[in-house]
Chains A and B, each alone.
Chain A
Amino acid sequence: MAANYWASTQRRHWLFTRERLAEIREGLKEKDKVAHSQFPLPDQRLLNIYFSQQLGRLGKRMSTRQQALATAQVYIKRYYTKNEIRSTNPYLVLTTAFYLACKMEECPQHIRFVVGEARGLWPEFIAPDVSKIGECEFSLISEMHSQLIVHHPYRTLSDLQPELALTSDEVALAWSVINDHYLTDLPLLYPPHVIAVMAIIVAVVFKPSSQTSSYGHPAPIAGAMREGGMNFLAALSDKGGTGPPERIQKLIAWLAESEVDIKAVIECTQELVSLYEVWEQYSEKNCKELLGRMVKSKSLEK
């Protein structure tokens, strides 16, 4: 239910295996092969980075809380498991997801205001007419079967902070790792507490220095995580050996006692490492051009 992840629609309906997710996407592709070859798009994660940055710009102008942005990103992911991106106007979907998420996260914005701001950012892709957003909202809610309550890892992070005696630096770092995980498929693949634990481990074990930020320069993080990951994996398999520092041993002990799926946590970490690697190829310009060409050629902005 609302506060109970285990009974939630998120767990029951919006958690996929990697195989299932790949199948779904293959199915969408099969339906419109022509569009796929005609309009190549960047790697999904690079697109996600682009969407997230655009959402961030929209949210910043309305000083929206991070949690509403996170919810909007999850809505976009869910929506694109049901709809081929090439048959949508991603700017409209993004704006609508933002508008809906703000209502759901109790920081509502007036539809006219949202449309006005979105038009300021993407005048070519957002019509002045609020009814477009209203209509897209119907589509979003309908595709998500009104399952709009999203459980985020942020809550688990704040719950675990005192228990694991996390410093404020570590919390801030874990927080930004959680922000980053919305750029991957992880929110569709793992429960929020697994993500939170992963973020804590990254923050405590790898400490990819303080320069980490969601949209900064991820390359050093990837390097740090690769090395740190090795140490961590070694520590997990070799308990009691020469071992890592005490702080990390404590975390490992806590992990071992908790019922958190360690294998899942490691998979999440790897996913994040590979995100930071692919990030190096990110080009905002490229995403913008490819999306723009797609929307314009198919007249999706109309």
Chain B
Amino acid sequence: MSLTNPPSSSGPLTATSRPAAATVSQSLSLKRSLQATVEENISSRRPTGSGYTSKVRVRDRYHIVGFISSGTYGRVYKALGKNGQKGEFAIKKFKPDKEGEIVQYTGLSQSAIREMALCSELDHANVVQLAEIILEDKCIFMVFEYTEHDLLQIIHHHTQPQRHPIPASMVRSILFQLLNGLLYLHTNWVLHRDLKPANILVTSGGAIRVGDLGLARLFYKPLNSLFSGDKVVVTIWYRAPELLMGSRHYTPAVDLWAVGCIFAELLSLRPIFKGEEAKMDSKKTVPFQRNQMMKIIDIMGLPNKENWPGIVSMPEFSQLHSLTATRAPNHFSRHSNLESWYQNCLKNGGYSAASSVGTPGEDGYDLLSRLLEYDPTKRITASEALEHPYFKNGGPIPANCFEGFEGKYPHRRVTQDDNDIRTGSLPGTKRSGLPDESLMGRATKRMKE
């Protein structure tokens, strides 16, 4: 679940513009009105006659305490269990389709169906835990355990007020747990396809949960080629080079490229390949992501048939060729600059064996270079990565990634300011919180089926 979709560029963040000095009574009345809007929304359209009615009702089981985020799929709320049910929850409410003012049943999207079905089967300590799914009043409510943090928020916290590195031991624990969750998904033939910091959830106890399976799908003998369903997959900054090159048969390796990008981002606190997304044109043809590919080439060097034999048969190979032809002969490095990028990153971050933050060292570089391997057939797998010296050397890995960490991360921002819970049009604002301009331009639009 994307509790934390990065904001769209259109998003004035209503939550943060609210005066901080709201009185207690004001905030209480806001709370009441929020709950009321949820309930009104649910109860106002009781189906008449013999239609479908849910046996379980959201408002009987949960008390909505606030709004977390919204996205193309709908909205996420924070809730508390009611009537003997303990704990905090994140409720993902899928937006129903509307025809005019009347909400109609129009059939659920395939991605909602996939997410519901997969989350119902999955059970692993490093994968987001589903509590239940309630289908009520033409809406789907997926109830997940609540997670206090996510990697986007943690990375952001380390840039404020000035940059201070995430301790090396925390990075190592995060990465290990992430790979462990991914191994579970891959051994069960599930591709995640949308790994990015915002989708990697972290509990207050320091456990990593891979979240948002909205794009995940089974890859065991699919009836249709995996390509045919959704045209473009994975937020562009984390998109593997074979996808940028137009590959139609992608594999679990796409998720490992994204892990490499996340690893780099945890160390440098910036996306390593921060390209600009080329939008689909009016004919809905998927363009070659020239800018994103350039960002990768800037650091990884130019891919060629020596380091990636399959590249010559990629659909966008000619595009890559023309891209290089228009530049000066020495514009692109033929070899990888990743090692100097990495050494720079360690230096700037203050990572060293002598310092209190420690260092991911040479093993860290080796793992990163194997994750950011151009050739998907040579890229390290989740199970190989878990056996890598980066994890084998350097002692036990704490299950709590915060172990030994002195700092404190802020709680997830939950706002009361949500008068628009009606199933109608949702505002363009995505994430509440994170008033950071550097994040505002995130090119995150996912194009689904």
Contact = CB atoms under 8 A, between A and B. Distances in A.
A147 interface: yes
Contacts of A134: 104-108
A142 B54 contact: yes
Contacts of A145: 120, 133
B120 A2 contact: no
Given A7-B123, A106-B217, A131-B105, A136 B113 contact: no
B104 A147 contact: no
Interface stretch (B2-10, B219-227, B350-358, B416-424): B219-227
B188 A4 contact: yes
Contacts of A147: 117, 120-121
- Chain B's interface: helix, strand, loop or mixed, by majority? loop
A99 B113 CA distance: 12
Nearest to A110: B107
Contacts of B135: 138, 141-142
B52 A138 contact: yes
B116 A106 contact: no
A262 interface: no
Contact of B52 (A65, A111, A139): A139
A77 B78 CA distance: 36
A103 B113 contact: yes
Nearest to B218: A2
Contacts of A131: 104-106
Nearest to A143: B55
Contacts of B50: 302
B118 interface: yes
A245 B261 CA distance: 60
Interface in B101-144: 104-108, 110, 113-114, 116-123, 133, 135, 138
A134 B106 CA distance: 5
B55 A106 contact: no
B106 A130 contact: yes
A1 interface: yes
A1 B108 CA distance: 23
A38 interface: no
Given A2-B190, A67-B223, A108-B110, A146 B133 contact: yes
A148 B107 contact: no
A137 B105 contact: yes
B84 interface: no
Nearest to A154: B221
A149 to B, nearest CB: 5
A-B pairs, top 7 by smallest CB distance, nearest first, are: A134-B105, A111-B107, A148-B117, A1-B188, A3-B189, A131-B105, A146-B116
17 contacts: A2-B218, A107-B224, A108-B449, A131-B105, A133-B107, A134-B104, A135-B47, A135-B52, A135-B105, A138-B52, A138-B135, A138-B138, A145-B120, A146-B116, A147-B117, A155-B221, A302-B50
Given A138-B105, A146-B117, 19 more contacts: A1-B121, A2-B118, A2-B188, A3-B189, A3-B218, A3-B220, A4-B188, A9-B120, A106-B218, A108-B110, A134-B108, A135-B52, A136-B52, A138-B138, A139-B52, A142-B55, A146-B116, A146-B120, A148-B116
